[in-house]
Amino acid sequence: MKKFIYTLILPFGLFACQNAQENTSTEKQEVEELKEAINYTVYGDEINAEGVVSYDEFASLLNEKDTVEVKLSGEIDKTCKVKGCWMKVSVEGEEVPMHITFKDYGFFVPKEGMEDKAAIFEGIAFVDTISVEMLRHYAEDEGLSEEEIAAITEPEVVVTFEASGVLIED
């Protein structure tokens, strides 16, 4: 009798395993198709577009803590023209573009052609004071004139973002 039951159950178990494999491979295919439909390029850690918070929610979180792990979106204003090691992104609700650096200097974004493209970035944000020396360095990277660089005489207090991953619209 046991052999009869196993003979009936075993094919259903194998069928269930096969369906699970087919579902997993179908899900992977759907994810890949979705990536192609969204048309973005990933830089740094693999991230997705889910879980982006509004600037108001982000500002509220930053008021509660010194450092916030978050995912934001915005429009790229500039990228570093020397290496692609930073970008400035206009974020809704913020007058000054947010300065984005990349975790551990571990990845870069394209140096040209990124202006006005949508970006999603995930990482940590914090309020920081950027020294005059560093501001001048960024100005050099940006290609500003010597007069413009020399005019930088005060440090700036800004929201800084260190991204572990970035999505940029193709």
Domain count, the chain: 2
Could you tell me if 27 and 89 lie in one domain?
no
Could you tell me if 11 and 93 lie in one domain?
no
Could you tell me if 110 and 147 lie in one domain?
yes
Could you tell me if 66 and 123 lie in one domain?
yes
21-48 b/e (C-beta count within 10 Å ≥ 16 → b) = eeeeeeeeeeeeeeeeeeebeebbeebb
Could you tell me if 50 and 13 lie in one domain?
no
Could you tell me if 12 and 81 lie in one domain?
no
Could you tell me if 18 and 56 lie in one domain?
no
- pTM as predicted: 0.72
Q: Residue 167: which residues within 8 A CB-CB, separation 6 or more? A: 40, 41, 42, 43, 47, 48, 49, 119, 120, 121
For the chain, the farthest-separated pair of C-alpha atoms sits apart, in whole angstroms, at 93
Q: Residue 63: which residues within 8 A CB-CB, separation 6 or more? A: none
Could you tell me if 84 and 121 lie in one domain?
yes
Task: For residue 62, count CB atoms less than 10 angstroms from its CB and return exposed for 0-12, middle for 13-18, buried for 19 or more.
Answer: middle
Report the CATH number that the domain containing residue 69 is assigned in CATH.
Answer: 2.40.50.140
Could you tell me if 102 and 66 lie in one domain?
yes
Whole domain around residue 92: which residue ranges? Answer: 43-169
Residue 104, phi-psi category: left (phi > 0), alpha (psi -120 to 50), beta (remainder): left
- Residue 25 has a pLDDT of 55
- Residue 92 has a pLDDT of 85
- Mean pLDDT in order along the chain per 10 residues (170 residues): 40 42 49 56 96 93 94 95 94 86 96 95 94 95 94 93 97
Could you tell me if 19 and 47 lie in one domain?
no
Could you tell me if 31 and 63 lie in one domain?
no
Could you tell me if 127 and 79 lie in one domain?
yes
